[in-house]
Structures are given as structure tokens and as C-alpha cells.
């Protein structure tokens, strides 16, 4: 494969160019990443996109995106809390969360009742239907996580998780 090894016939890299041709189209086009190799963000993003893609596919039957999942999980684990609390915890913008909750309410998974102690805020709860659905969703999410572990290697995943978690 090395350009300097003239393997007799197979004159693929006969000239300086050495472009792959014909059959080897799809795979053999890899370029030099150059300084991208030194950027954590680059690889971080690639992996994150791949993982989210798997998540979305795995949960396609419920049409739940990662952000929605995180909101559902947070409401389930912290019932009665306000949108502001969820928003701050997940770094989701207030405006966006409001719209997302409209959708989750439309699906009858989430209930908003006005908080007892603060007339401005809403207490968020899962409806019984929401709880039931979330249980199924969590099973799929667990399956996704298993697939992710296969994809990146179980121990690498564990190491990554340990490293990443030290933020918040």
C-alpha cells in the first residue's frame, strides 16, 4: 500500500498522484486530518454525533430525541420542580424548554400544574401514561447504551464516562 512499494503491475500509484480509482471509491478517500488531530473538540463532536444518531434510531418508535429524553428523566426523578430548574440543570434555554413541554403535554406525557408556592412557575409531573411510556423508553435507552458500548468498546466507554462525568 505504501506509495514507494511498486508492486509490479497494479500500477495504481504509478505517478505522483496516486488517486484511488474505480472500485475502491467509498473507503480509500481518507485525507490528512492535520491539526484536527490535536483538537479534542473535533473527536468529541464526531463521537457525540454518532452516539446521538444511534440513540435517535433506537428510540425511533417513540419519536423521542435526546433532549426530550433528558427532560422526561429529569421530571420523573424530580417531580414537582419548575421549568427553570430543569432548564438550568440541562442547559436548555427557557424558551426552548417551554416549547418542548408543550409538545410533551400534547402527547399527554407531562402535566403542568401551577406551583403552590410561586405563582409564576409550573410544577412538572409525569402523567401516569407518561410514566408508563418512560419505562419503555428507558429500556430502549439502555439498549442504546449497550450498543454504544459495543461501538466504542466497553472499557473505553467506562473510561470516557468516568472522565466526562467529572464536570456536570
Partner DNA sequence: AGATATTGTTGTCAATGACAACATGTTCTC
Partner DNA sequence: GAGAACATGTTGTCATTGACAACAATATCT
- Residues in contact with a copy of itself by CB under 8 A are 1-2, 4-5, 12, 17, 19, 26, 29-52, 55, 66, 70, 73-74, 76-78, 81, 84-86, 88-89, 91, 116-117, 119, 138, 141, 145, 148, 152, 156-157, 159-161, 163-168
Calculate the alpha carbon distances from 122 to 6, 26, 69, 107, 150 in Å: 72, 52, 19, 18, 40
Are 60 and 49 in contact by the 8 Å Cβ rule? The answer is no
Cα–chain center distance at 129? 25
| Residue among 73 and 98 whose Cβ is closer to a copy of itself | 73
Residue with cell 422526561: 72
We find the least distance from the C-beta atom of residue 151 to a copy of itself, in angstroms, to be 9
Q: Report how many helices (DSSP H) and strands (DSSP E) the chain contains, helices first.
A: 6, 2
| Residue among 37 and 117 whose Cβ is closer to DNA | 117
What number of residues does the chain have?
A: 168
Binding to DNA by residue 150, rule CB under 7 A? Answer: no
Name which position in 7, 39, 46, 118 contacts DNA (CB under 7 A): 118
Give the start-end residues of each E strand in 57-135. Answer: 110-114, 122-126
Reported as type and span, the H/E element at residue 163 is: helix 154-165
Residues 90-109 that bind DNA (CB under 7 A): 92-96, 98-102
Q: Which does 95 bind (CB under 5 to 8 A by kind): DNA, a copy of itself, none?
A: DNA
Binding site for DNA (CB under 7 A): 1-2, 12, 21-23, 25-26, 49, 53, 65-67, 82-84, 87, 92-96, 98-102, 112, 115, 117-122
Amino acid at each position: 500500500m505504501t506509495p514507494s512499494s511498486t508492486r509490479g503491475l497494479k500500477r495504481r500509484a504509478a505517478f505522483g498522484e496516486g488517486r484511488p480509482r474505480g472500485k475502491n471509491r467509498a473507503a480509500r478517500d481518507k485525507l490528512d486530518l492535520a491539526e484536527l488531530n490535536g483538537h479534542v473538540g473535533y473527536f468529541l463532536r464526531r463521537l457525540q454525533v454518532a452516539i446521538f444518531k444511534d440513540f435517535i434510531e433506537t428510540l425511533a418508535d417513540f419519536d423521542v430525541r435526546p433532549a426530550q429524553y433528558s427532560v422526561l428523566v429529569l421530571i420523573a426523578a424530580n417531580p414537582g420542580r419548575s421549568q427553570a430548574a430543569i432548564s438550568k440543570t440541562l442547559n436548555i434555554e427557557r424558551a426552548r424548554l417551554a416549547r418542548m413541554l408543550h409538545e410533551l403535554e400534547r402527547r399527554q406525557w407531562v402535566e403542568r400544574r401551577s406551583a403552590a408556592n410561586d405563582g409564576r412557575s409550573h410544577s412538572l409531573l409525569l402523567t401516569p401514561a407518561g410514566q408508563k411510556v418512560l419505562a419503555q423508553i428507558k429500556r430502549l435507552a439502555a439498549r442504546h447504551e449497550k450498543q454504544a458500548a459495543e461501538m466504542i468498546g466497553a472499557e473505553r466507554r467506562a473510561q470516557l464516562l468516568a472522565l466526562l462525568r467529572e464536570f456536570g
